[in-house]
Structure 1
Amino acid sequence: MNVQDRRRILGPVEAKPLAFPSINVAKSDDGESKEKTSSPPEFTDPTIRTSVLTNCNGSCILETPQLSLLSSIYGPKSTRSNLFESRCQINVIIKSSIFSSSELKELSSFLINVLESFVCLELYPKAGIDVFVNLNIEEVDELSWYIPYIIMSIVLGLVDAGIEISDLPGSGFNDNNVACFTKDGNEVIGIWKDKGETKGDEHFLESLEACKVQYLRIKELMSSYLLSQSDKAE
């Protein structure tokens, strides 16, 4: 019988367990761990590049010190369905190494609802648009923090693909909540609540106004970039 000396497991009587500082860690679907920041940073103007891929209809990559994400647009393309659809169908697929599949699936559904509010779907009957978002560099652990960048890249990717949209929509992040706007902030087209707290109507309105300020900043960035691209084309 294999007998072990209990003292070899517990150590000396005066021994104390080692204490290590806690680290904010997330695990991907394959169990791999990755260290992340403790709190979301402020919004940073990203560098923008469109038409970075040749095998899709439109694409846009955004980069900041904390992230790099690429959106690619495929379509409008005919669907294989035998049923006639009067409006285009949108599909969104998000790939990430630190967020779970359930979180990404929920965000995809949210983005589809947002896209359906400003993409001119009636112009593309019996067609489909596939949107792929790849989060290549992820140094922030709050999924909601990425949403303004994701929507910005998708909108610019749609423009790059020549797909008609009714406006340049966008969103803002505040207190782990996201509000999506159009029409210069006069219309809210989506609200995403992650881990943030809405402490009454006053707090919600303050958070909404902060999101609107960020949205207007993002819209200005998109407008300036598109104008610069049109000048280059001329």
Structure 2
Amino acid sequence: MNVQDRRRLLGPAAAKPMAFSNAIIDEQQKKPVNMPSKDSENGDELSLHTGFIENCNGSALVEARNLRHQTSLITAVYGPRSIRGSFTSQGTISIQLKNGLLEKYNTNELKEVSGFLMGIFNSVVNLSRYPKSGIDIFVYLTYDKNLQSEAPAGESQSKKTFSEISYLIPHCITSITLALADAGIEIVDMAGAGEANGTVVSFIKNGEEIVGVWKDEGNNEDLLESVDDCKEQYRRYRDLMISCLLEQKSLDTSSS
């Protein structure tokens, strides 16, 4: 006797199960882009990651190491979010640089760097596209270590600290640029920077336009002598950012 199974809906007799491609990606290959280390003080080994924080609009992680310094920082972007009060024709940006667990830098130093970064990204982000909106950016210094020996006797702690901050600034700019791109916020170009002898120069448009200059206290070197070195670093960092974003896009496309 032919008995039909009425407990479930049966498909056609010739039906085949659906097959999906393997979308599992090794965590080590998920979103990093690495720069090979170089046999020089300024040859940074860089690792870039984006889009790993879920409760913000965009995020980025930059890990950098060379012969004299090792650092890791995380950037989170929130916005654009509507702001209360009078109407503004363009958006506003706030940037806060925060210590990690080590509390290495004092509040005034972090505020000074935050103000410098705000000056750069006020000219890089297309704020006219975001009227009556605010973009909040938080940069967390999760790890920061000087790999060289302690400062020689007689060298002031202030001078040493500012030298370390100048090393951090290009990586802050790289991290903020990646986080803004991850958030889908419109920027006029990929901002980047390089550091040479305590001088930081930030560029856009393939190094043809300077959007910010930072010099350590007591730094009497000629700015023009540092521009070329900073521009070379900027171009390397920019190429890495582009590679990171292209890799991110290809991963998103393959997983969708």
Moved over 2 A (4+): 195-199
SS of the equivalent of 1:184 reads: helix
- Is the 2:49–2:244 contact (alpha carbons within 8 Å) kept by the matching residues of 1? no
1:196-225 per-position Cα deviation (integer Å, ceiling 9, x unaligned):
6233xxx32120111011001111111111
- Is the 2:124–2:189 contact (alpha carbons within 8 Å) kept by the matching residues of 1? yes
Q: Is 1:183 matched up with 2:205?
A: yes
Structure 2 unaligned residues grouped into runs of 5+: 1-40, 147-160
> Number of residues paired by the alignment?
191
- Is the 2:201–2:214 contact (alpha carbons within 8 Å) kept by the matching residues of 1? yes
Indicate the residue corresponding to 2:30 in structure 1. none
1:60-90 per-position Cα deviation (integer Å, ceiling 9, x unaligned):
011134111000000000012x211111110
Distance in 2, matches of 1:206 and 1:155, equals 26
Distance in 1, matches of 2:240 and 2:218, equals 26
- Paired letter, 2:77: I
Distance in 2, matches of 1:194 and 1:182, equals 22
TM-score by length of 1: 0.78
- Is the 2:97–2:110 contact (alpha carbons within 8 Å) kept by the matching residues of 1? yes
Give how far 1:43 is off. Answer: 4.4
Indicate the residue corresponding to 2:121 in structure 1. 115
Distance in 2, matches of 1:94 and 1:204, equals 26
Q: Is 1:229 matched up with 2:229?
A: no
Q: Is 1:105 matched up with 2:108?
A: no
- Is the 1:114–1:189 contact (alpha carbons within 8 Å) kept by the matching residues of 2? yes
Q: Is 1:207 matched up with 2:226?
A: yes
Distance in 1, matches of 2:213 and 2:220, equals 12
Q: Is 1:94 matched up with 2:97?
A: yes
Distance in 1, matches of 2:111 and 2:71, equals 20
Give runs of aligned pairs for residues 50-89 of structure 1, distance below 5 A: 50-65=50-65, 66-80=70-84, 82-89=85-92
Task: State the identity as a percent.
Answer: 42
1:156-206 per-position Cα deviation (integer Å, ceiling 9, x unaligned):
00000010101111000000110000000000000011146233xxx3212
Indicate the residue corresponding to 2:22 in structure 1. none
- Is the 1:73–1:129 contact (alpha carbons within 8 Å) kept by the matching residues of 2? yes
- Is the 2:124–2:187 contact (alpha carbons within 8 Å) kept by the matching residues of 1? yes
1:89-117 per-position Cα deviation (integer Å, ceiling 9, x unaligned):
10011111211100111111111110011
- Is the 1:71–1:154 contact (alpha carbons within 8 Å) kept by the matching residues of 2? yes
Give runs of aligned pairs for residues 145-184 of structure 1, distance below 5 A: 145-184=167-206
Distance in 1, matches of 2:91 and 2:218, equals 34
SS of the equivalent of 2:207 reads: coil
- Paired letter, 2:145: E
Structure 1 unaligned residues grouped into runs of 5+: 1-40
Q: How well do the aligned residues superpose, as a CA RMSD in angstroms?
A: 1.5
